[in-house]
Amino acid sequence: VGIPSLGVERFRAELLPRYQALGAPVIVSIGGLGIDEFFAVADGLRDADLAALEVNVSCPNLEAGGLAVGTSPDAVAKVVSGVRQRSRVPVIVKLTPAVSSIAEVAIAAEDAGADALTVANSFPGAAIDLVTRRPLLGRGGGGYSGPGIKPIAIKLVADTAAAVAIPVIGCGGITTAEDVAEFLIAGASAVQVGTATFTRPTAMTEILADLPDLLVRLGVRGAAELVGSTAGGEAAL
């Protein structure tokens, strides 16, 4: 969860060492309110010991009136090439699903130097209290995530994987090892688990524990064999 962060200086001083102490590769998610803020955060992390940066382009682009940076292929290209120049580690670009053509944005990110793409962020959503008729979320709308978005995310992963040569990291509603396999078959090379960890903090370790048996049941020797293996090829989805 990168958006409500402490800012890059305090993140580096107070939080990053705690993640690094866990011993796993650390990928830091960055965002900004305006394109220059992405660059300032990337500069602030330049000499940090990281495995990768993930650039969350779902943030509003205040210079373009608050539209998400990620809805404009040009704005995405600008952010990605600027972060790419500033970063010594692989740059993953996390796309928003709220676009008419994810392929167009994915290609813009790839052409601008992205090393991988995460597909996708949460969907814009809202809920209303029937009595007060006020939005139930504090800021009106918010991000809709979890199992309800999984089929939409699978389709976006397939569309993205068909459009680019760089790896796609699938994300959206994953709660089980079976969900992981579905994303891999659709074309993802890796996955992320978000909402499930809020309701079930052990979700990721359970998924990892369940995967080996599932791979045996599916008749493959490793998860990599599943990647992009839809019967009928890319056109099947």
Ligand X SMILES: Cc1cc2nc3c(=O)[nH]c(=O)nc-3n(C[C@H](O)[C@H](O)[C@H](O)COP(=O)(O)O)c2cc1C
Please tell me the distance from the alpha carbon of residue 37 to that of residue 30, in angstroms, as a whole number.
10
Catalytic residue among 35, 59, 68, 169: 59
Determine the interface stretch with ligand X among 12-20, 104-112, 187-195, 222-230 (rule: CB under 6 A): 187-195
Please tell me the distance from the alpha carbon of residue 32 to that of residue 75, in angstroms, as a whole number.
13
Determine the interface stretch with ligand X among 20-28, 42-50, 84-92, 193-201 (rule: CB under 6 A): 193-201
Q: Is residue 102 a contact point for ligand X (CB under 6 A)?
A: no
Q: Taking the complex as a whole, how short is the minimal distance between the CB of residue 187 and ligand X, in angstroms?
A: 17
Please tell me the distance from the alpha carbon of residue 155 to that of residue 208, in angstroms, as a whole number.
23
- Residue 111, CA atoms < 13 Å, CB-side half-sphere: 13
Site for ligand X in 43-62 (CB under 6 A): 56
Q: Which is nearer to ligand X, 113 or 146 (CB)?
A: 146
Determine the interface stretch with ligand X among 45-53, 140-148, 212-220, 227-235 (rule: CB under 6 A): 140-148
Q: Which is nearer to ligand X, 166 or 180 (CB)?
A: 180
Q: Is residue 195 a contact point for ligand X (CB under 6 A)?
A: yes
Q: Is 59 a catalytic residue?
A: yes
Contact predicate 171/153, CB 8 Å: yes
- Pull the structure tokens for residue 93: 């670009």
Give the residue nearest to ligand X (CB): 194
Inter-axis angle of helices 102-111 and 73-86, to 10 degrees? Answer: 30
Q: Taking the complex as a whole, how short is the minimal distance between the CB of residue 219 and ligand X, in angstroms?
A: 27
With b for 16 or more beta-carbon neighbours within 10 A and e for fewer, the 190-202 pattern comes to bbbbbbbeeeeee
The DSSP secondary structure of 108-155, one letter per residue, reads: HHHHTT-SEEEE--PEEE--B-TTT--BSBTTBSEEE-SGGGHHHHHH
Q: Which is nearer to ligand X, 66 or 222 (CB)?
A: 66
Q: Catalog residues that contact ligand X under the rule CB under 6 A.
A: 1-3, 29, 56, 94, 121-122, 143, 145-146, 149, 171-174, 193-196
